[in-house]
């Protein structure tokens, strides 16, 4: 497994050595308003692995201070994703656990003259805030007395005002060069049922106020977040200082992870699901962790990919190919290599006895004998891939079957194609071949070289299977300004129907295989014993030449 090493690790090491902190405590703080995607995995893996590498701990904290889009469905899904990746949070907390303490700290700020109730509307607040070139204008409500603010804030809490009528703001500096410091909103009114606290509260703290408080209460030492929070750090530190929190966590930002041809924003993923462009959050083409899992990706492939993508203070865009690379690396020696035919062409061996089936010993993985062996069936009737036969006269680079040419069938015999059988429209329905009994696999026959080696499946024992082949969901192109919903790749999910060798009676969901000369596959959750369904996780070779 790749080792995690980066600038944050160095900071932690120094903090431990200087005695700034005694142990490392991190948290992974997803908002339970969507399914996690592979970008979130960077945050998750970074938090858990860094703490682990110092013998520290990581909390899972659901950042549920905005009840508008949150739901327990997402809470449960996120817990499962974390478990799937193999992490164990020290505690599972919710931002809403701290509503009472957060409220009391807001009261404390009011008493210190550092917060006030403001009646400006949202639009007015942003207009008064100014911009990078112009200082803000102070709100006319900024100098209310402490007593008045305490009373108004309590009224807010007691539901005396409508949504948007009043907010609580920090009193900092309307001319600060950092716009986040221009009297940011700390609390707003929302009459929305919260998935945990129900109707208890009608005021909810803003992220910038709630998050540092939550970190401090939990004793978080290093609060890692993505780069867009960079210019919120001053406010984070302000809240910790003015609320006089006994623990002082340190916010550190890291770059976000992006992947080529992959949309990684919760909002877009939701739109894909809602517009039925995909079959759900676990559609095998989705970059969600549930999608990657159903597609067949392994936790180790994902972790190694994220670790290898590095971690720095700039956002990075990584080739999706890299993820396939780590999948192949992970599965190469772990999976059995079976034979499957995704687009079948019938082969009839004219000189083989009718009704006879023989079984040949085959290693499950030629590079790892520990995976044992199996019996592969051979008879007069076989299937090969359509693309492994051509009727036209082949050139000398062609290494497959053609009339007059001989190929080796993996784990079986050499066969030579003699003639084709066609239907009334001239389509090939079968290829007549002869086999050479001397060439049986394992006998060391080396008198002739075949024109390549191809896979096959014995027809009478073959299991029917559907193969799902994937390409990137969205077509990315520089000069295409259509919405992403109009840029769905029509080949992103191609279905093929064929056969797989009868390896075992029941193929378990998520069992993974290599199908020889094709790629790595897993068993989809819709698979049934009489109609197997396989998802191609990744082709054997990179499509980038």
Enzyme catalytic residues: 31, 256, 266
Q: How many helices (H) and strands (E) does the chain have?
A: 12, 29
Euclidean distance between CA atoms 377 and 431, whole angstroms: 19
Residue pair 30/82 in contact by the 8 Å Cβ criterion: no
- In this structure, are residues 336 and 368 in contact, taking their beta carbons and an 8 Å threshold? no
**Least Cβ distance, residue 436 to ligand ATP (angstroms):** 57
State which residue, 40 or 171, has the beta carbon closest to ligand ATP: 40
- How far is the C-alpha of 521 from the C-alpha of 429, rounded, in Å? 28
Cβ 128 to ligand ATP, closest distance in Å?
Answer: 26
Q: Which residue of this chain has its Cβ atom nearest to ligand ATP in the complex?
A: 39
Closest CA to 145 of 174, 115, 169, 167: 115
Beta carbon of residue 265, minimum distance to ligand ATP (angstroms, whole number)? 5
> Considering beta carbons, is residue 225 or 323 the nearer one to ligand ATP?
225
DSSP 439: G
CB of 64 to ligand ATP, least distance (A): 10
Locate 176 and state its tokens: 């600060």
The neighbour count for residue 305, using CB atoms within 10 Å, is: 27
- Least separation in angstroms between residue 40's CB and ligand ATP is 4
Structural contact between residues 160 and 178, judged by C-beta atoms closer than 8 angstroms: no
Which C-beta is closer to ligand ATP: that of 266 or that of 303? 266
Dig out the tokens for 352 from the structure.
Answer: 């083989």
Locate the DSSP E strands across 24-89: 25-28, 57-62
Residues 6+ apart with CB under 8 A from 114: 170, 171, 172, 242
Shorter beta-carbon distance to ligand ATP: residue 42 or 536: 42
| Distance spanning both ends of the chain, measured CA to CA | 27
Cα–Cα distance, 15 to 21 (Å, whole number): 6
Question: Smaller CB distance to ligand ATP: residue 30 or 299?
Answer: 30
Adjacency order of strands within the sheet including 344-349: 453-454, 406-409, 414-422, 428-436, 344-349, 381-385, 457-458
Beta-strand ranges (E) seen in 74-202 are 92-94, 115-118, 167-170, 185-189
Distance of alpha carbon 317 from alpha carbon 382, whole angstroms: 46
CB of 75 to ligand ATP, least distance (A): 12
Considering only CA atoms, give the Rg of the chain: 31
Q: How far is the CB of 375 from ligand ATP (least distance, A)?
A: 47
For the CB of residue 36, give the shortest distance to ligand ATP in the complex, in Å: 8
Please report how close the Cβ of residue 300 comes to ligand ATP at its closest, in angstroms. 19
Nearer to ligand ATP, 310 or 394 (CB): 310
Furthest CA-CA distance within the chain = 102
Distance (Å, whole) CA 452 – CA 468: 27
The Cα–Cα gap between 56 and 43 comes to: 16
Whose Cβ is closer to ligand ATP: residue 252's or residue 264's? 264
| Residues contributing to the site for ligand ATP (CB under 6 A) | 29-31, 39-40, 42-43, 225-226, 256-257, 264-266
Nearer to ligand ATP, 28 or 326 (CB): 28
- HSE-up of residue 321 (Cα within 13 Å, Cβ side): 6
Q: What is the DSSP letter of 214?
A: H
Which residue is associated with the tokens 């073959």?
462
303 Cβ partners below 8 Å, 6+ apart? 1, 2, 41, 45, 85
> Nearest CA to 299 among 510, 472, 89?
510
Q: 373 to each of 336, 366, 443, 534, how far by Cα in Å?
A: 9, 9, 17, 22
Asked if residue 356 lies in contact with residue 436, where contact means CB atoms within 8 angstroms, the answer is: no
Neighbouring residues of 73: CB distance < 8 A, sequence distance ≥ 6: none
Which is nearer to ligand ATP, 30 or 498 (by Cβ)?
A: 30
Min separation Cβ 32 and ligand ATP, Å: 8
Of residues 266 and 463, the one with the C-beta less far from ligand ATP: 266
Both tokens assigned to 341:
């035919």
């Amino acid at each position: 497994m790749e080792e995690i090493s980066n600038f944050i690790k160095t900071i932690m090491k120094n903090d431990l050595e200087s005695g700034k902190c005694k142990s490392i405590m991190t948290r992974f703080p997803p908002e339970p308003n969507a399914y996690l995607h592979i970008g979130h995995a960077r945050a998750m893996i970074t938090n858990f692995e860094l703490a682990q590498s110092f013998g520290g701990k990581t909390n899972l904290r659901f950042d549920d201070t905005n009840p508008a889009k949150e739901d327990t469905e997402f809470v449960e899904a996120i817990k499962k994703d974390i478990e799937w990746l193999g992490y164990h949070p020290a505690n599972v907390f919710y931002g809403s656990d701290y509503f009472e303490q957060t409220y009391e700290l807001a009261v404390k700020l009011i008493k210190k003259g550092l917060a006030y109730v403001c009646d400006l509307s949202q639009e007015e607040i942003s207009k008064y805030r100014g911009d990078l070139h112009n200082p803000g204008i102070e709100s006319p409500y900024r100098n209310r007395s402490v007593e008045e603010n305490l009373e108004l804030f309590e009224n807010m809490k007691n539901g005396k005002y409508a949504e948007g009528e009043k907010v609580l703001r920090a009193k900092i500096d309307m001319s600060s060069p950092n716009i986040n410091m221009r009297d940011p909103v700390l609390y707003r009114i929302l009459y929305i049922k919260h998935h945990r606290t129900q109707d208890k509260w009608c005021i909810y703290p803003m992220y910038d106020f709630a998050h540092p408080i939550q970190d401090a209460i939990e004793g978080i030492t290093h609060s890692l977040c993505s780069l867009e929070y960079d210019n919120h750090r001053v406010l984070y530190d302000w809240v910790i200082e003015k609320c006089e929190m006994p623990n002082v966590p340190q916010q550190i930002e890291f770059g976000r992870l992006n992947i080529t041809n992959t949309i990684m924003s919760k909002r877009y993923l939701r739109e894909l699901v809602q517009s039925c462009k995909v079959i759900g959050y676990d559609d095998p083409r989705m970059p969600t962790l549930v999608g990657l899992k159903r597609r067949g990706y392994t936790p180790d492939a994902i972790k190694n990919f994220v670790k290898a993508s590095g971690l720095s203070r700039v956002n990075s865009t990584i080739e999706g190919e890299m993820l396939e690379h780590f999948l192949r690396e992970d599965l190469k020696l772990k999976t059995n290599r079976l034979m499957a035919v995704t687009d079948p062409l019938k082969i009839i061996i004219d000189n083989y006895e009718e009704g006879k089936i023989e079984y040949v010993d085959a290693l499950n993985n030629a590079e790892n004998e520990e995976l044992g062996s199996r019996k592969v069936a051979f008879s007069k009737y076989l299937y090969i891939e359509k693309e492994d036969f051509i009727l036209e006269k082949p050139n000398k680079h062609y290494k497959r079957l053609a009339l007059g040419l001989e190929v080796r069938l993996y784990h079986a015999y050499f066969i030579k194609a003699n003639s084709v059988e066609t239907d009334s429209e001239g389509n090939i329905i079968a290829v007549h071949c002869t086999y050479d009994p001397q060439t049986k696999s394992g006998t060391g026959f080396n008198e002739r070289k075949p024109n390549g080696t191809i896979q096959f499946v014995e027809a009478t024992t073959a299991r029917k299977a559907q193969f799902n082949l994937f390409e990137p969901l969205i077509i990315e192109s520089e000069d295409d300004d259509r919405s992403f919903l109009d840029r769905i790749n029509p080949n992103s999910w191609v279905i093929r129907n064929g056969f797989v060798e009868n390896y075992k009676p029941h193929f378990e969901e998520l069992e993974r295989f290599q199908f020889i000369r094709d790629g790595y596959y897993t068993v989809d959750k819709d698979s049934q014993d009489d109609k197997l369904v396989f998802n191609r996780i990744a082709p054997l070779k990179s499509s980038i030449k």
